[in-house]
Structures are given as C-alpha cells and as structure tokens.
Amino acid sequence: MSSTYESLRERLQEAFDAVAPGADPALRLSDRSDYQANGVMALAKRLGRAPRQVAQEIVGGGHLADVATVEIAGPGFLNLTLLPEFLNHQLGAISLDARLGFVEVNHPLRVILDYSSPNVAKEMHVGHLRSTVIGDALARMYRFAGHTVIARNHVGDWGTPFGMLIEHLLDLGEELAIATFSMGDLNTFYKEARVKFDADDAFKDRSRSRVVALQSGDPETLRLWRVLVDESISYFGEVYAKIDVTLVPGDVVGESHYNELLEGVIDDLASAGLLVESEGAQCVFPPGFQNREGEPLPLIVRKRDEGFGYAATDLAALRERVSVLHGDELLYVVGAPQAQHLEMVFAVARLAGWLPDEVRCEQVIFGNVLGPDHKMLKSRSGETVKLVDLLDEAIERAYVILEERGSDLDGDARLHLATQIALAAIKYADLSSERQHDYVFDLERMVAFEGDTGPYLQYAHARVSSIFRRLGEPWQPRDVHFELAESASRELALGLLGLPPALSSSLSSLQPHRLCTYLFDLAQRFTSFYDACPVLSAEGALRDERLALCDLTARTLRLGLGLLGIDAPDQM
C-alpha cells in the first residue's frame, strides 16, 4: 500500500501535470481543511497566467474527485477535504498493516552512522549522551525504513595521553586500577594521572617513553593499553544497556583501528601534491578555510613530533567507510564544536578524491546541554556531569512521582517503570527540539506527565491500553467501517494517517524532533477524542469504530516511541 500522503501527492501530481508537466506541488496538513496544496502560484507564474484560473483548471480535470473535495483559497491554495470513503479505505488499510502505512524503501542505502564515540579512561558526558540518543533514534528509523545501518562507535582509544594512563595503571597496580574502572570512576583515574604528569618530572619522562613503546608496538605496553581499553569499553557497555540503546560491542571501531592506515593517508596526500610542511607539521590547506586573521587554515595530519592526530584518523576512517564499507551515506553525530574539524576533513577527502560526489557525507550536528543558569551543564562541584548520575537522578524523581500518583506497583515493578519513565524523559527532551539548538536540562519539566514530554506520550499510550484492559476481551483489528461522524474522531483519524510523512521528513532532514512533534500532536488529538467520544459505553458499530481508533492510536504511539528508543509501558 502507499500511504495516504503519497496517494494524495500522486493524485495531485497527475492533476498538475494535466495542466502542464513539470510542476512540483507540495502538500501539508492544514488547519483550514485536511490538507493544503501549494504550487499553483509557481506554475501560474511559469505559464504567465492568473493563479486562480490555473487552480480552476487543475481542479476541473477531476483527478482528485474521488479522494477529496477541493476549495480554491486565497491567491491559489488548494484546500483538500478528504472524502469519507477515501478516509475509510485508508484507515482500513493501516489497521491491517503492522507498519502503519510506512512502506519500506525500494533502494536500501548503506548508512555509516558514527555516533556515541566516548573516550577511553574518560567519563561519558552529556555531549556523548546527545550523540548516543540522537544516533540511536536515527539508526532505528533508518533500519525501519529498510536501509542498512553500520554503526561506528569511534571510541577515542589512542594518542599521547595513554603514556601517562598506562604509567598510572602500573603505579596503582592492575587490580586496583581495574576496580576503579568497573566502579565507573573514570574521571578520577584520568585526573590522578594528569596531576602526576604535571607535577612529577620522572613520571612525565616515564609517560613519554611509554608513548614511544606503545607506538612501536611493545607487547607488554600493548597489553596494558588493552586493559585500559577493555575496561572502559565494558563500562560504556553498561551505560548503553542502562540507557537502552541498540549499540553493541561490535560497533566499537576505535581510533586505534586506523593506525596501520595512517601512513598510507600521508603518502597518498603527498603524491596528490596536497601535503604542505608548516612549522614542522605535515598539513593540508583546503581552500575556503581561514582563521580570524584571514590566513589559510591547516588540517594537521602529522604533528611536528611525527605523531598522527585526530584528523589523520578521521581521514583514514572516511576512506574505509567509502571504499571498504561502501557507504552511500556517511553521517557523523558529533557536537557543534567539532564542525570545523569535520568540514575540513570532508573537504580534504574530496580534494584527495576519496569522497565521490554521490556519497552523502554530513555532520549531524547538535547543540549543548545547558544547566538551569543557561550555562554549560556542570555538577555542583563545577565538573562535567556524569551521564549515569543524571540517569539515576531521573529514575529517583520518576519513582517519587509514581508514589505521589498512588501507583499500585511495588518493588521491582515500580523501579522498572520508573526507569522507563526516566529514560523517556531524558531521551525525549533531547530529541524533541531541533538538534542544532542548545537545550536546558530541566529534570522537573522533563519528567512531568503533562506538556510536551516523553512521560506524557507514554501516559497517553497507557491510557489507551487501559481501555483494552477494561474491555475484558481480546480485541483484534477487524473490518470496521469508519464513519467518523464526530469532528474529534475525524481529527484523530487524520492524525493516525500522518505517521509516514512525519517519519519520512524526520529521516530526510535527520531531525528526530519532527517525529516527536507528530507524536505529541497525535496524543493531543487522542485526548480531545477521548473527552468527546466515550468508547466502552458506546454500542455496536460506533463502539467498534472507536475501539479501532484507540487500537491504532496505541500502535502508532508504540511504534513512534520505539523508533525514538523509548518504551511504551501498558500501565503507568
């Protein structure tokens, strides 16, 4: 089946093409009617004719006659009101479709999704939370659409700090160091190493030789390095399990993976004539990048000390993603501060011929998480906030709210539900605003059951579910004739038909917030419907229609929340 939106869009195209081919009419949900079509004005301009006259001709062709009544408004908008039979047919079709009208793509793409990407021996912070949550939602949506997603958790597991980290590990003793890591106390470990490095020259010397040993592949040094990496990755795995994301250990392909490819990156840049020596470092100067003084900006691929950097690794990774993984899309869910770095990497890759034009390569950029003071979110002691601490606080808060609401769940069941609510609160708050924007981490607002929040959507779903519990008999989607006599049921029905375009638009813009907006609107439509149209006390065909609308509402909320990585419990 094609979705209601697509059917309408096709009809509209036919109607336009009948007047003059090549128009590109746009369709959107509207308050005035069910849908509004734009594009008449552009066509009229092209034809040098009066818009309303062109509109008359489009409507007069009769291409829309069996799906909608059309009214010409203003300077040539087409206001479409769907015909009852068409609506009935579309609802009937999605009722029997587990995908609720969203058709899998014909041409699946290979999408390489770089996300989460925390650093070994360092705490995951709210920036990594954003990358993980946004990346996870995109991965779920892409996969649902039928694409192949290859997740790349580009963990920072290489570089000069490992000298001091390994030396500190030896000072502490392996056992104690491992214990610190498994307690999730990564920052303390890192900071202790840093303090010694800054204060103690002997330690500094040891650390430096250790870096050399690491880079030259000394087996014992590599073993110690692995301990740090493995312990960190298993800790990250615990965090992922806790926040319920789809990342698996196999998605970790850290910076170290690219070590053997770095030499080749340099060689190929050199033979392409792109490499320039600047202050002892090997650089590429991609055109169009300048510093504040207007001087050309280098992408440093090899530092003065002969070490490779972050940029060289990203170049090697990009090459692998194109030529080995055959990615059609390379997406990087990375915060705004790294925008220039990634743009330069992409530009250099294009210059070097590693990034063909047909490969989409984009940073899925996101803004900062701010504290109540609208400054970067910090803990009370002024440090970066640990992700797990935020989670625990949200779970505690949700637990208390359940208590206040007189939840009859106890013990583990209540804790489980509180966790589901807390995750919904945090993930939805992160996903529901345009990702480029900063947002304020306001736990109280995020966990509220009212307003544009994750728990509100979960609660709407639980309310629908409770209708079916009270029904007392199993309910299967069945052949229902949708009359939709009340405006509230008609509005709900129109909302239910809106999932496919909302999801498509979220995917094409890489903006999960569009799906959030859709779901919030649907939950509100359901609330109005539920106030106006009693379900269980209705009778006969009317009751069946209302139950069918409720069933579709529950399924749409469940599917939509699921694509955002949010659970939809049956009871709250």
Q: Which residues contact 48 (CB under 8 A, 6 or more apart)?
A: none
- For ligand ARG, the binding residue among 7, 36, 79, 117 (CB under 6 A) is 117
- For ligand ARG, the binding residue among 101, 156, 159, 500 (CB under 6 A) is 156
Write the binding mask 67 to 106 for ligand ARG: x where contact by CB under 6 A, - elsewhere: ----------------------------------------
Is residue 556 near ligand ARG by the rule CB under 6 A? no
Residue 118: CB minimum distance to ligand ARG, A: 6
Residue nearer to ligand ARG on the CB measure, 4 or 153: 153
Residue nearer to ligand ARG on the CB measure, 255 or 545: 255
Residue 11: CB minimum distance to ligand ARG, A: 44
Size of the site for ligand ARG (CB under 6 A): 10
Residue 189: CB minimum distance to ligand ARG, A: 17
DSSP 409-445: --HHHHHHHHHHHHHHHHHHHHHSS-TTS-EE--HHH
DSSP secondary structure code for residue 292 in this structure: T
Is residue 135 near ligand ARG by the rule CB under 6 A? no
Residue 152: CB minimum distance to ligand ARG, A: 7
Stretch that binds ligand ARG, among 42-50, 112-120, 279-287, 366-374 (CB under 6 A): 112-120
User: Are residues 5 and 497 in contact, defined by beta-carbon separation less than 8 angstroms?
Assistant: yes
The span from the CA of 71 to the CA of 81, in Å, is 8
Residue 34: CB minimum distance to ligand ARG, A: 43
Stretch that binds ligand ARG, among 59-67, 111-119, 166-174, 285-293 (CB under 6 A): 111-119
The span from the CA of 461 to the CA of 481, in Å, is 24
Q: Which residues contact 538 (CB under 8 A, 6 or more apart)?
A: 546
Q: What are phi and psi of 504, to 5 degrees?
A: -60, -40
User: Are residues 564 and 427 in contact, defined by beta-carbon separation less than 8 angstroms?
Assistant: yes
User: If DSSP codes are grouped into helix, strand and coil, which group holds residue 101?
Assistant: coil
DSSP secondary structure code for residue 337 in this structure: G
Structure tokens, 115? 């996300």
Stretch that binds ligand ARG, among 79-87, 117-125, 360-368, 471-479 (CB under 6 A): 117-125
- For ligand ARG, the binding residue among 34, 57, 114, 167 (CB under 6 A) is 114
The continuous run of DSSP H or E covering 112 comes out as strand 110-114
Residue 246: CB minimum distance to ligand ARG, A: 18
Q: Closest-CB residue for ligand ARG?
A: 117
Instruction: For residue 43, give the nearest of 73, 22, 12 by alpha carbon.
Output: 22
Residue 292: CB minimum distance to ligand ARG, A: 23
- Terminus-to-terminus CA distance in the chain, angstroms? 35
User: If DSSP codes are grouped into helix, strand and coil, which group holds residue 183?
Assistant: coil
Residue nearer to ligand ARG on the CB measure, 144 or 310: 310
Footprint of ligand ARG on this chain (CB under 6 A)? 114, 117-119, 154, 156, 314, 317, 332, 334
